[in-house]
A = this chain, B = another copy of it.
Amino acid sequence: MTKTQQVRLAKRPSGKIDADTWSLTTEELPAITAGQILVKIDYISLDPAMRGWLNDVRSYVPPVGIGEVMRSLDIATVVESTHPDFAVGDTVSGTFGVTEYAISDGRNVQRVDLGVAAGPTWLSTLGMPGMTAYFGLLEVGKLRAGDTVVVSAAAGAVGSVAGQIAKAKGATVIGIAGGEEKCRVLTEELGFDAAIDYRNEDVLRRLREVAPDGIDVYFDNVGGDILDAALANLRRGARVVICGAISAYNADKLPPGPSRYMSLLVFRASMTGFVVFDYADRYGEAISQMSEWLAGGRIKSMEHIVEGGIPRFAETLDMLFTGANTGKLVLAL
């Protein structure tokens, strides 16, 4: 029997996640049966989407139930196996949840190759954020060489990859991020052409300065005023990719939408939402291309790793909403 500590959803938050949202529990896992694996979690992915999974509303995945282990993507090591596809010692990724150990029947579990990249990178550039950036920019945003691309939350998990993919594809790339240090990382370390610090600069005016001919692709992770500033500065035929809206996730009622959405008409532009899971059958293609870019130094994978394991889950998740992380936020066990 294996003892495991877990975070469970105790109460659905209305607005901000608080101390009542979670309960920290410990349970004994049963012995595995035929065709199962027991995994020990190494890294837990912290994602803005987690906030959405707590709401009891219709969405692209069902909400986490009250009393259930909080859903999360993890990198784990197989410690026991009666499953033909997995051996003890394999490193795998899967939706095991916020827990130390988990039992799985192997469905939706993939082996990951630590020879290609370290565990946390399989949660970032080679994981969901990377897939989201890749298909959002190239398929939904229909990026073309020479485009002017603007990315919000550009120092975040998805944004930092999206901007670098755009550069690799020959675009001019402007990142919007909060704070001087994040902006410095974008231009000095990740190769962005310009960065706008939304905490200290007028985004609308700065966009006009750095993208005087307008924006071809706006990759939005934040919503709110920044989305409006981008809408006001599109180029004809622009594509606005709706990837997320972190500015709204903790609101207890829906905030107003983009008041400048009629710019879509003026600029003959489109605004399109997507869910990365729809591209699941093409992840292999993306991982192959991104691995090549990583190996060649065209893309740098940025992870922000917090040590301390399960008990630090709640405070680590909160960092996403205060913007305390640079790059992909990961909890190490």
Interface residues of A (CB under 8 A from B): 58-60, 223, 228, 242-245, 248, 254-275, 278
* A273 & B262 in contact (Cβ 8 Å cutoff): yes
Given the complex, which residues of B lie within 8 Å of A244, measured CB to CB?
Answer: 265
Contact residues in B for A259 (Cβ distance below 8 Å): 254-257
Would you list the 9 A-B pairs with minimal beta carbon distance, nearest first? A256-B256, A265-B273, A264-B273, A257-B257, A257-B258, A270-B272, A254-B259, A257-B259, A257-B261
In the complex, what residues of B have CB within 8 A of residue A266's CB?
58-60, 273, 275
Q: List 22 A-B contacts (CB under 8 A).
A: A228-B257, A242-B261, A242-B264, A242-B265, A245-B262, A254-B259, A256-B257, A256-B259, A257-B258, A257-B259, A258-B258, A258-B261, A261-B261, A263-B273, A267-B273, A268-B273, A268-B274, A268-B278, A269-B272, A270-B271, A270-B273, A271-B272
Indicate the member of A267, A273, A275 with the most B CB atoms within 10 Å. A273
The CA-CA distance from A278 to B265 in the complex, in Å, is 12
A251, closest chain B residue (CB): B259
Residues of chain B within 8 A (CB-CB) of A274 are 265, 268
Q: How many copies does the complex hold?
A: 2
Contacts of A257 in B (CB 8 A): 228, 256-261
State A241–B262 Cα separation when bound (angstroms).
11
In contact, A248 and B262 (Cβ under 8 angstroms): yes
A264 and B272 within 8 A (CB): yes
User: How many angstroms from the CA of A262 to the CA of B255 in the assembled complex?
Assistant: 11
Known: A256-B257, A259-B257. A270 touches B270 (CB 8 A): yes
Chain B residues, CB < 8 A from A228: 257
Measured CB to CB, the nearest residue on chain B to A240 is B271
User: Roughly how many angstroms separate A228 CA and B260 CA in the complex, as a whole number?
Assistant: 15
Report chain B residues within 8 Å CB of A264.
242, 271-273
Q: Are A273 and B269 in contact (CB under 8 A)?
A: yes
What residues of B have a CB within 8 angstroms of the CB of A242 in the complex? 261-262, 264-265
A228 CA to B253 CA, complexed, in Å: 14
Q: Please give the distance in Å from A104's CB to the nearest CB on chain B.
A: 28
List of B residues within 8 angstroms of A248 by Cβ = 262
CB closest residue in chain B, given A245: B262
Q: Are B262 and A223 in contact (CB-based, < 8 A)? A: yes
Partner of A268, one of B261, B268, B270, B275: B275
Contacts of A262 in B (CB 8 A): 223, 242, 245, 248, 273
Give A281 Cβ to nearest chain B Cβ, in Å.
15
A256 CA / B256 CA spacing, docked (Å): 5
Nearest-Cβ distance from residue A258 to partner chain B, whole angstroms:
4
A128 to chain B, nearest CB (A): 15
Q: A257-B256, A257-B257, A258-B258 are in contact. Are A275 and B265 (CB under 8 A)?
A: yes
